[in-house]
Structure 1
Amino acid sequence: MFMKDQMLATLENAKEYTLAVAAAMPDEHYAFKVTDEVFTFNELLHHIGYGIYWWEENYIRQKETEWTPPAVTTGKKATVRYLTDAFRSLKKSVEALPENDKAIHGFYATIDHITHHRGQATTYLRYKGITPPAYVF
């Protein structure tokens, strides 16, 4: 399997699992936060989406961009659409990469950021008594 094929498979897995975590939380609990010092579930998922765009721009496309998140999406439907669009954009950038490009490191840093925050999101689900979707490797 070529590096790009492996990256696209990793991205598809990350997308599917992240969207499954997003789908598991009922819309009425998207405003839930574990403690006052952290994101709501909605804000956390929006942060994942914006992080995908930001890491993609800076470390895959190699275009220096400041961290300026847009207004947070409101509600499950809008947030899931934002995440889906972010993953679609990242996939297009990965598909356009030449093999052995230095942006490969940026791709894996992006995946690591997604994983970090998605793990937090699964904890939010557990706080609400929801079993997170099974992780598929």
Structure 2
Amino acid sequence: MKTQLLTTLENARNYTLGVAAAMPAKNYDFKPAAEVFSFGELLHHIGYGIGWWEENFMRQQSSDWNPPAPASGKEATMSYLEGAFAALKESVEKHATTDKAIAGFYATIDHITHHRGQATTYLRCRGIVPPEYIY
């Protein structure tokens, strides 16, 4: 089971980082509408969400939703995402031993997928073809 979870995680990581890399740095502040996250803020939200969901649902350690200010720029945002995925991988390796932790993992993946889908739409709004979906 752990191998399956790690494979799912690696696919999500690679595709998410591919989507992040596809947007030029100059467009990280792009918003398709005034009331939504910018592309960079959306990716930061994914990264923060990874840690929050992992902490609350995999490790069963309650924490409030209190995201820090978004990373500034493409490089910092991608680094933030890399760190979030690395921490989730470590948590899967250590904590994915109970049904609750495994359910927490899939809730985390669902949150990533939801917002990554939005990010691919942002790319399309800028005339960028998203990377091919990895599964």
Once the two structures are superposed, the pairs formed by residues 1-137 of structure 1 within 5 Å of their partners are: 3-97=1-95, 99-137=97-135
- Counterparts in 2 of 1:39 and 1:98: CA distance versus 1, 3 Å: closer
Structure 1: 4+ residue segments shifted above 3 A: 98-101
Give the conservation status (yes or no) of the 8 Å contact 2:54–2:91: yes
**CA-CA distance at 1:98 after TM superposition:** 5.1
- Counterparts in 2 of 1:98 and 1:30: CA distance versus 1, 3 Å: closer
Question: What is the identity, as a one-letter code, of the residue corresponding to 1:95?
Answer: E
Question: What is the identity, as a one-letter code, of the residue corresponding to 1:21?
Answer: V
Q: Which whole-Å deviations, capped at 9, do the CAs of 1:103-124 have from their partners, x for residues lacking one?
A: 1000000000000000000000
Percentage of identical aligned residues: 66
Q: Which whole-Å deviations, capped at 9, do the CAs of 1:47-71 have from their partners, x for residues lacking one?
A: 0000000001100110000000011
Q: TM-score, normalised by structure 1?
A: 0.96
Q: Mean alpha-carbon deviation: is it higher for 115-124 or for 90-99?
A: 90-99
Q: TM-score, normalised by structure 2?
A: 0.98
SS of the residue 1:102 aligns to: helix
RMSD, aligned α-carbons: 0.8
**Paired residues, number:** 135
Question: What is the identity, as a one-letter code, of the residue corresponding to 2:86?
Answer: R
**CA-CA distance at 1:100 after TM superposition:** 4.1
Gaps of 5+ in 2: none
